[in-house]
Amino acid sequence: MTSIYEVYEDALAALEQRGRKRALAPRRGLDFASNDYLALSEAPEMRRALHEALERGVAVGAGASRLLRGNHPEHEALEAEAAAFFGAERALFLGGGYVANFALLSTLPQRGDLLVYDALIHASSHEGMRAGRAEHIAAAHNDAGAIEDAIAGWRTAGNKGRVWIAVESLYSMDGDRAPLADIIAIADRHDGILLIDEAHATGVFGPEGRGLGADYEGRENVISVHTCGKALGASGALICAPAVLCDFLVNRCRAFIYATAPSPLMAVAVGTALSLLRSQPERRARLHGLIEMANRRLEAECGVPGSGSQILPVIIGPDAETMALAARLQARGLDIRGIRPPTVPEGTARLRIALTLNVNEAQTAAMLDALAEEMRGLAAA
């Protein structure tokens, strides 16, 4: 008798055959895989803040959506603090970066508008675009000219709607930066609105860790997403935008309206993390020292160009070789993961090495020595 799950079993078998079946793996070894860049997720200050919040009666769960009974004073306090910290007119707290990107791109661009997006933008943004109403066009990665060409071609065809541009400030799999100054100039020329996903820059770059787009925050044509589950060590995401757009999301965004609100305790945690960005700049300074050393030694010892950020891609190419190399490094006590298509383009399977304050400089140097040794072995095989 045929299994009722045959179609799923066949799909999983096909993934297995191609070497692309995913599986959950436990935390083991030194952290070179997480996005906990400032090591705030287990910081004693975060633990104390949550303990104190519980002691004063802050609820674990919100119990409802924000529009029902789930709108907690901690949510509102965080949003006010975040708007002031990032320099935005208003902030809106959602359950995660995926939800925030989906919410923005499925709700704000309207039918008849154009959304031009960087080809390497997060998967969550792609899902939002597919669920939205606007026409969308990919532009070559970090190519401001390609963005402008797409807009010009669309206008030449007689289209009159609003132009939206979506980019990441720091790309999650390549660790490189968007040319934000060039892109904001394009948005200005075309009366467009720029959406900046700051997920991997928040807490790490910019004044007080306010992101690579800090100079543009608060403008009427800029919307930013600051993910809270990476360098901020908590969970959730903050959309920073003009008040009218936040009001529109509250009224029209199904991903906000129909979702149970984030835990009030997470609002406390995020607020604490923002305070730590101000009061402990030494965390960011230590991370930048690690970034400088690791980027320099990666090129010198492994022949791999550095990204200039805390995300170091080591592109191997074939899936099988990438995963075998990751396994050898894991066997040496180094938690380094292999990334395969479709997360990255075909033929660019890679190790994604993340630098965090969960390791020190000596441990990072030892990791790079091990990587160089294993790569020499791979080349000789």
Q: Is pLDDT of 1 > 70?
A: no
For range 81-87, the mean pLDDT: 98
Which stretches does DSSP call E strand in 122-206?
Answer: 135-139, 163-168, 193-197
Residues 6+ apart with CB under 8 A from 376: none
**pLDDT at position 229:** 97
Given CATH 3.30.930.10, say whether it is the number of domain 27-41+281-380. Answer: no
Tens of pLDDT, residue by residue over 334-381, are 999 999 999 999 999 999 999 999 999 999 999 999 999 999 888 776
**Residue 302: strand, helix, or coil:** helix
Q: Find residue 165's DSSP bridge partners.
A: 116, 194
What is the chain's mean pLDDT, rounded?
A: 96
Catalytic center residues = 35, 122, 168, 172, 197, 200, 230
Contact between 29 and 330 under an 8 Å Cβ cutoff? The reply is yes
Tens of pLDDT, residue by residue over 225-261, are 999 999 999 999 999 999 999 999 999 999 999 999 9
**pLDDT at position 381:** 67
Which CATH number is 58-278's, of 3.40.640.10, 3.20.20.150, 3.90.1200.10, 3.40.50.1360? 3.40.640.10
pLDDT band of residue 2 (cuts 50, 70, 90) is confident
Q: Is pLDDT of 70 > 70?
A: yes
Looking at the chain, the domain(s) classified CATH 3.40.640.10 span 58-278
Q: Is pLDDT of 147 > 90?
A: yes
Distance CA 272, CA 82 (A): 11
Distance CA 329, CA 216 (A): 41
Q: Is pLDDT of 64 > 90?
A: yes
Q: What is the separation, in whole angstroms, between the first and last Cα of the chain?
A: 46
For range 135-155, the mean pLDDT: 98
**pLDDT at position 3:** 85
**pLDDT at position 25:** 83
Looking at the chain, the domain(s) classified CATH 3.90.1150.10 span 27-41+281-380
275-312 burial, b for 16+ CB within 10 Å, e for fewer?
Answer: ebbeeeeebbebbeebbeebbebbeebbebebbebbbb
**pLDDT at position 378:** 81
pTM: 0.94
Structure tokens that stand for 24 in this block: 């959950």
